Structure formats: C-alpha cells, structure tokens
Amino acid sequence: MSRTDTEKLYNTYYMQVYSYVMTMVKNTSVAEEITQQTFYKAMVGKDKFRGGSSEYTWLCAIAKNLSLDELRKGSKKTEALDETLCDDTNIADDTEDHDTSLRIHLVLHKLEEPYKEVFQLRVFGELSFRDIGRIFGKTENWARVTYHRARMKIQNEMGD
C-alpha cells in the first residue's frame, strides 16, 4: 500500500472507526490506541483484503477484533485510565438525570447481542443504518428493525 493510499484511507475513515471503537471500549485513550492499531494492521495486511466488502467494513472488522481483545484482557491499564478520568467536576449536578442514565446503561448492559451493539452503534457511534448493516454483513432494513427492537426492549425494561 502506497503512502498516499494509506493517508487517504486514514483521512477518510479515522473518525468513523474511532466512533465505532468508542461504542465498545468507552475510553478515549484506549479507543485512540485501538484505532491507530486498526490502521496499522490494515496497512500491513492490505494484501489480505479481498475486496469482498467495503474498506470501511473491513476496518470495522479489524477494530472490533482489537476491541474485543482489549476488553477480554481486562487490563489494569484500562482500569487505571478509567480511574484517572473519574473527576468530581464531571459528575452531573442533577441526580435524577444521573439515575436515569445509569438505569438505561444497566438495561443496555444486560441487552443481548446483536441488539446491544446495534443500539450502541446507532446512538453512541452515530452511524447510519446502512453502515451498521454493512458492519454486520446484513441489509440496511435489518439494522433498522434490530435497532427498533432494541429500543423497545430497553423501553420495556425501563417501564418495569
């Protein structure tokens, strides 16, 4: 892969891949590191890319695997970063909003796949249904239906 191809790939997809990784790891430093590793692996392994999917889908697959590896490790480094990011200035003044947010995240944490990931990609990653469908190798309509079902499951749990 030439330098210009690498730069073009990086400039085109960096923010999308970073947003996708953030939905999984929820830590800016770790997400930045994984995003950089994603582009490094893509650059080194470009000859393995068969073109059966878009470059974006390929990059997200690499990022997903790296993110899952990081989450499986449960590394102390990630825990230490989380602790340093906890700051009293970041705590919401309104405890009702905090409680509601916590309840939503608890319900989301218990949500089964693929609903959980589709919901996170749509809400936190701000991805289109088309992109979500491509990540999963499914249609845009599948992504819409799955997102809607995830929302309904969350609403049902919140109502209980």
Out of 24-38, 83-97, 132-146, least confident range: 83-97
Per-residue pLDDT reduced to its tens digit, 3-57: 666 778 788 888 888 888 888 888 888 888 888 888 888 888 776 666 667 788 8
The answer to whether the CB of 29 falls within 8 A of the CB of 39 is no
Q: Which of 33-47, 56-70, 82-96 has the lowest mean pLDDT?
A: 82-96
Q: Which of 25-29, 84-88, 131-135, 156-160 has the lowest mean pLDDT?
A: 84-88
Contact in structure between 154 and 104 (CB atoms under 8 Å): yes
Neighbours of 104 (CB within 10 A): 15
- What spatial distance separates the first Cα and last Cα of the chain, rounded to whole Å? 54
**Distance separating alpha carbons of residues 78 and 19, to the nearest angstrom:** 18
The larger pLDDT score, comparing residue 70 to residue 97, is at 70
| Predicted pLDDT of residue 148 | 87
143 Cβ contact partners less than 8 Å away, ≥ 6 residues apart: 118, 122, 129, 130, 132, 133, 136
How much is the pTM?
A: 0.48
Query: Which helix (H) or strand (E) is 108 found in, with range?
Result: helix 95-110
Contact, 111 vs 155, CB < 8 A? no
- All structural domains of the chain: 1-87 (1.10.1740.10), 94-160 (1.10.10.10)
What is the rounded CA–CA span in Å between residue 31 and residue 99? 26
The more confident residue out of 73 and 64 is: 64
**Residue 138 in this model has a pLDDT that exceeds 80:** yes
> Among 75-84, 104-113, 131-140, which stretch is predicted with the lowest mean pLDDT?
75-84
pLDDT at 122: 82
Q: State the DSSP code for 160.
A: -
